[in-house]
Chains A and B, each alone.
Chain A
């Protein structure tokens, strides 16, 4: 099974399947089977989405 990376409109990137996430220092982040990664730049819980895109009116 490959990895599915789905762009949620005006929202985060949904990642599911066989993957791993490495943080800014290259250290593996333990995560759920499906994660939502911030694309708007405003999350307080980077790299994960915290819903901030809704209040900032992110489009993309």
Chain B
């Protein structure tokens, strides 16, 4: 069964599928490829923002397969039909989904994800020990298991190592 929030986006060559229910906000996609994955835009996926090769490379890094891709030639009939039916008024993106759940908050909300990362969301600066800003973001996830290969950010390794709170 498809979730009504599921979306798919195509550039004619490949189709990227998005399943928001699987998203743990590891934020890998928009940290690496903002021209394609931009949660501030609607639709939040712009398939014209990079080459097919680059989209595949970054999409494959999603730790939960909340986003994944297929070649259009490999799509089922139902999946092909999904590429035709886009209702622009019915677009969702990762940030909106979150805001709906959490209305009024202080500047920054830090969520401790169960057996997972710290999810930072709001108006914050992430800096090194010297106070130098690393990156300005509205949402990011910081590794809590100690095993990420791209510190300080979560890369999904906690799932492989079985990190427990």
* Chain A interface (Cβ < 8 Å from any Cβ of B): 1-9, 13, 15, 17-24, 26, 37-42, 46-47, 53, 56, 58, 60
Q: B residues near A, CB below 8 A?
A: 105-114, 118, 120, 122-129, 131, 134, 142-148, 151-152, 163, 165
Is A13 touching B123 in the complex (CB atoms < 8 A)?
no
Q: How far is the CA of A8 from the CA of B146 in the complex (A)?
A: 13
Alpha-carbon separation in the docked complex, A15 to B106 (Å): 14
Extra contacts, 14 of them, besides A2-B124, A19-B108 (Cβ < 8 A), are A4-B127, A5-B124, A7-B129, A7-B152, A9-B129, A13-B118, A17-B108, A17-B124, A18-B108, A38-B144, A39-B144, A42-B146, A46-B165, A47-B144
Instruction: Give the number of residue pairs across the A-B interface with Cβ within 8 Å.
Output: 104
- Asked if residues B107 and A18 are in contact (CB atoms below 8 Å), the reply is yes
Are A20 and B109 neighbours in the complex by a CB distance under 8 Å?
yes
Secondary structure at chain B's binding surface: helix, strand, loop or mixed? loop
Chain A nearest Cβ from B158, distance in angstroms: 8
Q: B143–A3 contact, CB under 8 A?
A: no
User: Residues of B contacting A3 with CB < 8 Å?
Assistant: 107-108, 122-125
| A contact residues around B127 at 8 Å (CB) | 4-7
In the complex, chain B residues whose CB is within 8 Å of the CB of A60? 143, 146, 148, 151-152
**In the complex, the 4 A-B pairs of residues with the closest C-beta atoms, listed nearest first:** A41-B146, A60-B151, A3-B108, A3-B124
How far apart sit A4 and B126, CA to CA, in the bound complex (Å)?
A: 6
Closest to A15 in B: B110
Residue of A nearest to B147 (CB): A41
